[in-house]
Amino acid sequence: MSTKNAAQSAGDASAVQPASPAAIRNVVLVGPAGSGKTTLVEALLFRTGALTRMGSVEDGSTVSDYDESEVRQQRSVGLSLAPISVGDIKVNLLDAPGYADFVGDLRAGLRAADCALFVVSASEGVDGATKALWQECEAVKMPRTVVISKLDHQRADYPAVLAAAHDAFGDKVLPLYVPVEHKGSEVDDLVALLSQTVSDYSGAAGRVVRRADDDEQLLIDEHRTSLIEGIIEESEDEGLMDRYMNGDEIETALLVGDLETAVARASFFPVVPVCATTGVGLDELLEVVTSAFPAPSEHTFPSVYTPAGKAVADLSCDPSGPLLAEIVKTTSDPYVGRISLTRVFSGTVHPDATVHVSGHFSQFEEADHGHEDHDEDERIGTLSSPLGKNQRLSTSCIAGDICAIAKLSRAETGDTLSDKDNPLVMEPWSMPEPLLPFALVAHAKADEDKLGQALSRLAAEDPSVRIEHNPETGQLVLWCMGEAHGDVLLDRLRNRYGVSVDQVDVRVPLRETFSGTANGHGRHVKQSGGHGQYAVCDVTVEPLPHGAGFEFVDKVVGGAVPRQFIPSVEKGVRAQLDRGLSAGYPVVDVRVTLFDGKAHSVDSSDMAFQTAGSLAVREAANAAGVTMLEPIDTVDVLIDDDYMGAVMGDLSVRRARVLGTEPVAGARTLVKAEAPQLELLRYATELRSLSHGTGTFSRTFARYEAMPSHVAAKLAAEKTD
């Protein structure tokens, strides 16, 4: 049986309809790329019987990484769902991408889940990118267990990685189980610090729990005291520490209960070592997930409002309550159409029901990401419980569960679903601003007609995408999170929607202005038989302060230019300023004063005076000189202190002016600066490289200001070439 068929068959057999929210655990796997999240999901699917054979990332046969881009790149690029059954509990495993470009899907996974497995490789340790992911979890107060994976790797160093995690994430990151190191052999034993037993995975029968021997007891004693003290410090029982300090033996059941409470509050983070390929630690991890992690009913709701903005506070995770659900991811299937991965917070979703769709981006955010406003009713199609790309039909989806809804033609990622007679809207989760632009043109005429619709679908699927039709440059710009994100989007355009595009250089909307005041004489006289062309005008052009715009002043006396042709002069002047005078960019912040001219009773015309006005401005520009103006952005760069010098030096090279710095918790610094947009086109990628994946930035337009002459000369030369 092929991997795909095995997954489909086993998935059908293991599909579960949970009896209540208490029988559900929504768990997102978070961790850096390459930490082993997808392989761990595969191992848990196999361990619980959802698969009859494990796939591999290298072969492109895993349940989670089914997208063509994921198979080709051998890494996760999108959020995927893989449910398993552990006894009577349904565990929805959400495999989130770890690469920084796909933080949008990571945040969607954090929204859909109630708890997280934070996966760190025993062979890689804790780097800046890993710390950034931990901060993402911390920002939403996500309960989590640290999973140290890849115990069988030849460079695995569990003690060193445990110490690094403790240093990086805080003193409440403490081991619940510890692997027993055997020289020259794989790890096949785990000691349980609370129960003081050993899980032996060396036999063919799988896990066998036995008593610890003397050496193993020494290992338990080494770590157990710190674990118990950490749990008691988080306990709400004030007398428990006194009992412990007095030497009283604390009951294991009491410690376990306090541990579960602390984990649910996201104040304590147990560490579980796991080897997905050998199975070591999988049973212990499942025990933590089902026993220590909170059920959906224990997790705090996001804020909920009526469409009028009134807060709604009486909702709970009740299958009989009013419907409240949220689309956390949207995908397109060539056969089924749009599929909406949906977390149900209240009520129950049924196939073929009519629901109200509320699009919250426009209601809660000022930024326009190219998403449409929604406030309408839609009839949903079939319900299914996805196992990767395979959809298993469901008869309902209760509060606390996650399902896939087919054929919601208008609903997009982030939209709220509610009862049509009781519409609600959920406050959106924080989405990152896409800061890397790709300018696109259709490869062929046939692609032009499909390009707009395809880009709209990409924006509907991924809120971290922004589509911009820049009216000043005339370019179609796709804003994304980074090079890898852009590559995936272009791949989907080509392979999923059949649209071929070419990338061109992104143009920054530059402008021009006059360097000083000058007069210009415009003379347009032609005679070619019949009616000729005759118009003469004299103008004075002077620069205005930044932001003043354009002024046209009429100071003609004595009818030197007939009144009916003065608007023609202004029209010609405006047209020339729009076309530019030096490098082809619009001219701004000038006053043009028409003070003299000549006309002919027969040969003067509207077009003749338009041409004369244009010529007069051009002559004035030659006399006064033209200054190039460039847009300046205010930039906030958040970086680890370790990379402060490199980032500050790079900003200097980019002609940035540093306005100040502010210390931020976690040994980080916020650098405030102003920088030209020309220097920020690839900054999203280059900052990530400089800061080893830890740096982020935001930008807002500040103003236009004069460009240095050497930069302007270089741009003019490039444009000529």
Helix axes 644-653, 683-690, angle to 10 degrees: 150
Length, in residues, of the chain:
721
Count CB-CB contacts under 10 A for residue 235. Answer: 21
Judge contact between 435 and 684, C-beta under 8 A: yes
Q: What is the pLDDT of residues 372-396, one digit of tens each?
A: 556 789 999 899 998 988 888 899 9
Angle at CA 710, nearest 5°, toward 707 and 711? 50
What is d(CA 82, CA 94) in angstroms, rounded to the nearest whole number? 6
Judge contact between 80 and 66, C-beta under 8 A: yes
What is d(CA 559, CA 613) in angstroms, rounded to the nearest whole number? 17
* pLDDT recorded at residue 360: 58
Q: Please indicate whether the domains covering 436-504 and 629-720 agree at the CATH topology level.
A: yes
Amino acid at 148: I
Helix (H, G, I), strand (E, B) or coil at 555: coil
* pLDDT recorded at residue 719: 66
What is d(CA 629, CA 587) in angstroms, rounded to the nearest whole number? 9
Q: Which two tokens stand for residue 234?
A: 């988080």
Please list the ranges in the chain whose pLDDT falls under 70: 1-16, 182-185, 205, 334, 360-374, 528-530, 719-721
Q: Which two tokens stand for residue 613?
A: 């006005």
Q: How far is CA 315 from the centre of its chain?
A: 29
What is d(CA 486, CA 108) in angstroms, rounded to the nearest whole number? 19
Phi–psi pair at 82, nearest 5 degrees: -145, 100
The edge-to-edge listing of strands for the beta sheet with 390-394 is 375-379, 354-358, 416-419, 324-333, 337-346, 402-406, 383-387, 390-394
Q: How far is CA 587 from the centre of its chain?
A: 37
* pLDDT recorded at residue 530: 65
What is d(CA 169, CA 174) in angstroms, rounded to the nearest whole number? 10
660 bridge partner residues: 672
* pLDDT recorded at residue 365: 44
CATH of domain 304-426: 2.40.30.10
Q: How far is CA 96 from the centre of its chain?
A: 12
Give the fold, CATH level 3, of 436-504: Alpha-Beta Plaits (3.30.70)
Helices (H), 593-703: 606-624, 644-653, 683-690
Judge contact between 456 and 493, C-beta under 8 A: no
Phi–psi pair at 31, nearest 5 degrees: 165, 165
> From 3.40.50.10320, 3.40.50.300, 1.10.490.20, 1.10.10.10, which CATH number describes the 3-181+266-298 domain?
3.40.50.300
What is d(CA 222, CA 225) in angstroms, rounded to the nearest whole number? 7
**Residue tagged 């340790």 (tokens):** 125
First-residue to last-residue Cα distance in the chain: 61
SS3 annotation, 370-419: CCCCCEEEEECCCEEEEECCEEEEECCEECCCEEEEECCCCCCCCCEEEE
Judge contact between 429 and 327, C-beta under 8 A: no
Phi–psi pair at 553, nearest 5 degrees: -120, 130
Angle at CA 434, nearest 5°, toward 430 and 435? 135
What is d(CA 679, CA 698) in angstroms, rounded to the nearest whole number? 14
What is d(CA 461, CA 600) in angstroms, rounded to the nearest whole number? 63
Judge contact between 478 and 462, C-beta under 8 A: no
Judge contact between 599 and 565, C-beta under 8 A: yes
Helices (H), 473-546: 483-495
Question: Does the domain spanning 511-624 belong to CATH 3.30.230.10?
Answer: yes
Q: Classify residue 414 as left (phi > 0), alpha (psi -120 to 50) or beta.
A: left
> Radius of gyration of the chain from Cα atoms?
32
Q: Where are the domains of the chain?
A: 3-181+266-298, 304-426, 436-504, 511-624, 629-720
DSSP 188-257: -EEEETTTTEEEE--STT--EEEE--HHHHHHHHHHHHHHHHHHHHT-S-HHHHHHHHTTPPPPHHHHHH
Give the fold, CATH level 3, of 629-720: Alpha-Beta Plaits (3.30.70)
Question: What separation in angstroms does the CA of 108 have from each of 430, 492, 538, 658?
Answer: 9, 20, 63, 34
Question: What separation in angstroms does the CA of 165 have from each of 35, 125, 158, 225?
Answer: 14, 8, 10, 18
Amino acid at 611: T
Q: Which two tokens stand for residue 6?
A: 């095995």
Largest CA distance in the chain: 116
CA atoms within 13 A on the CB side of 125: 10
Judge contact between 351 and 335, C-beta under 8 A: no
**Residue tagged 């410090």 (tokens):** 233
Amino acid at 592: V
What is d(CA 288, CA 273) in angstroms, rounded to the nearest whole number? 12
Count CB-CB contacts under 10 A for residue 397. Answer: 26
Count CB-CB contacts under 10 A for residue 265. Answer: 14
